[in-house]
Structure 1
Amino acid sequence: MKLSGKVILVTGASSGLGEQICYEAAKAGAIVVACARRIQLIGAVKERCMEYSNQPAFAFQLDVSQPQQVDHVLARIEEEVGAIDVLVNDAGYGIFDDFVATPYEEIRNMFEVNVLGLMYITKRVAIKMIERGDGQVINVASIAGKMATPKSSVYAATKFAVLGFSNALRLELKPFHVSVTTVNPGPMETPFFERADPDKRYLARVKPFLTDPTALAKKIVNSIGKPKREINQPLIMEIAAKAYVLFPRVGDYLASGIFNKK
């Protein structure tokens, strides 16, 4: 797929990985539709995308956990922009705390954003892609969805759900020439950790394992139009995640020891 003139919708586009995906897509000539809750930030993302692409770009305030808002924004995109060629589901958040100390309301909210919101917007967009017989869905999950560690029980559960959903969806949409790619990043120094790790102790401890969001965004954009099943970063955590499955006792040792930095 040549990106020039293709419409790419990115959720969670106001900062971090989502923001960088917008820029890399714009550099490749795509028409970027940036969506996030923080309208004051995505306006700046939109302007920068226009500078990179020399094409129109769009920004819509969107909370993916609100189905009516999703319907409204998608209708506006269809009317003002056109058909969505690529959907990048990056919206999500995490709280790192012991499960028994996590309020139920926080658990429910995390699932509504990370899982149910992702599934709802994907369904709405995938229906249109099936009708056209073309498109790509890119779901940003996490290495935490492959290898859970202490104090990430709820967040990991949401990402395990995204992985399971994506793996089944890939098979369901393949006959309609719609591809599904799952991205599993390790820790990145982004605003995600302002909420997940407010005292920044975790980030300091995992500094050797940090993934560069700009470099990962380039890999994601380069994968568009290709039947790429997964993108996993960094390599050491991908290897650890495989060991977690193949050698369960070793996996538990790694998850509770070397990779337990929270």
Structure 2
Amino acid sequence: MELKGKIAVITGASSGIGALTAQLLGSRGAIPVLLARSEEKLQEVAAGIPGPYGLHVCDVSQSRDVEITFAKIYETYGTIDILLNNAGYGKFEDFTDMPVQEFDDMMNVNYMGVVRCTKAVVPHMLECRSGHIVNVASMAGKIGTSRSAAYSASKHAVIGFTNALRQELRHSGIVISSVNPGPIETNFFKVADPSGSYVKNVGSFMMPAQYVSEKIIKLMEKGKEELDLPLLAAIGIRLYGLAPRLADRLTYNMLNRK
């Protein structure tokens, strides 16, 4: 896909890979439309976009909020060419200590937020017989680790949703992609790991946010359907699929560092 002139909606655009991807899209000549809950943070990100952009305060956990926001976007631009479902958060905590409500909240944002936003664009994309939906999941959705039951479950749901929707829309002209990164150097861990112990333990595996955002841009340009990052983890995922229980035992000490 040639990104120049394309209308690209990014959720969770106030920081991290959402913010950086929005700015990279702007540098490619696309028109990024930034969505997040904080207008102040969105304005800070927008200041780094070299060209036209859109900006809306939107909470993806609220169905009515999503409906109103996307209606405004269509009213302004008439179309949405790319949807980057990036909004999400995580918390690492022992299963026995994490309240059920936290599971509910995380699933509502990380999974149902993707569903809500996708619902808002698919009918229009079907009419146009074109479009690209990119869902940011996680390696955690493919390989579960200790103290991440709620987060892994929500991302596993995103991957399952993405794979099923891809098959359903295979001949519609709409590309459905998933991005499954490992640990990234972002503010994600301020909520997920406030003690800093996990970040300290996996520091050598952490990817720069800029690197991940550049990979997402390439995925959009090439229309690639799946991206696992980093490369070593992508290889590990393939091996894990062949012998998951053996892989669990062999990688326990390396992966369970929370």
* TM > 0.5: yes
CA distance in 1, matches of 2:134, 2:115: 12
Query: What root-mean-square deviation, in Å, do the aligned CA atoms of Structure 1 and Structure 2 show?
Result: 1.2
Amino acid in the other structure paired with 1:13? A
Conserved in 2, the CA contact under 8 Å of 1:148 and 1:255?
no
Amino acid in the other structure paired with 2:29? G
Residue 141 (structure 2) pairs with residue 128 (structure 1): no
SS at match of 2:9: strand
Q: Return the match for 2:245 from 249, 255, 261.
A: 249
Residue 94 (structure 2) pairs with residue 98 (structure 1): yes
Q: CA deviation at 1:24?
A: 1.1
CA distance in 2, matches of 1:252, 1:131: 45
Q: Return the match for 2:230 from 215, 231, 234.
A: 234
Q: CA deviation at 1:203?
A: 0.7
Note the 1:11-90 alignment, pairs <5 A. Answer: 11-49=11-49, 52=50, 54=51, 56-90=52-86
Conserved in 2, the CA contact under 8 Å of 1:3 and 1:28?
yes
Cα displacement string for residues 66-86 of structure 1 (whole angstroms, at most 9, x for unaligned residues): 000001101111112331100
Conserved in 2, the CA contact under 8 Å of 1:187 and 1:210?
yes
Conserved in 1, the CA contact under 8 Å of 2:8 and 2:83?
yes
Note the 1:202-213 alignment, pairs <5 A. Answer: 202-213=198-209
Q: Percent identity?
A: 40
Corresponding residue for 1:197?
193
Amino acid in the other structure paired with 2:25? A
Amino acid in the other structure paired with 2:66? V
Conserved in 2, the CA contact under 8 Å of 1:96 and 1:151?
yes
Residue 161 (structure 2) pairs with residue 161 (structure 1): no
Residue 144 (structure 2) pairs with residue 118 (structure 1): no
Change (3 A) 1:114 1:77: same
Amino acid in the other structure paired with 1:36? A
Cα displacement string for residues 131-151 of structure 1 (whole angstroms, at most 9, x for unaligned residues): 111000000000001111000
Gaps spanning 5+ residues in structure 1: where? Answer: none
CA distance in 1, matches of 2:70, 2:139: 29
Cα displacement string for residues 104-160 of structure 1 (whole angstroms, at most 9, x for unaligned residues): 111100010011111111011111101111000000000001111000111000111
Corresponding residue for 1:183?
179
Aligned residue pairs total 258
Conserved in 1, the CA contact under 8 Å of 2:23 and 2:46?
no
Cα displacement string for residues 137-192 of structure 1 (whole angstroms, at most 9, x for unaligned residues): 00000000111100011100011110011001111122110001100010011111
Gaps spanning 5+ residues in structure 2: where? Answer: none
Residue range with higher mean Cα deviation, 142-151 or 223-232: 223-232
> TM-score, normalising length from structure 1?
0.95
CA distance in 1, matches of 2:77, 2:189: 33
CA distance in 2, matches of 1:19, 1:255: 33
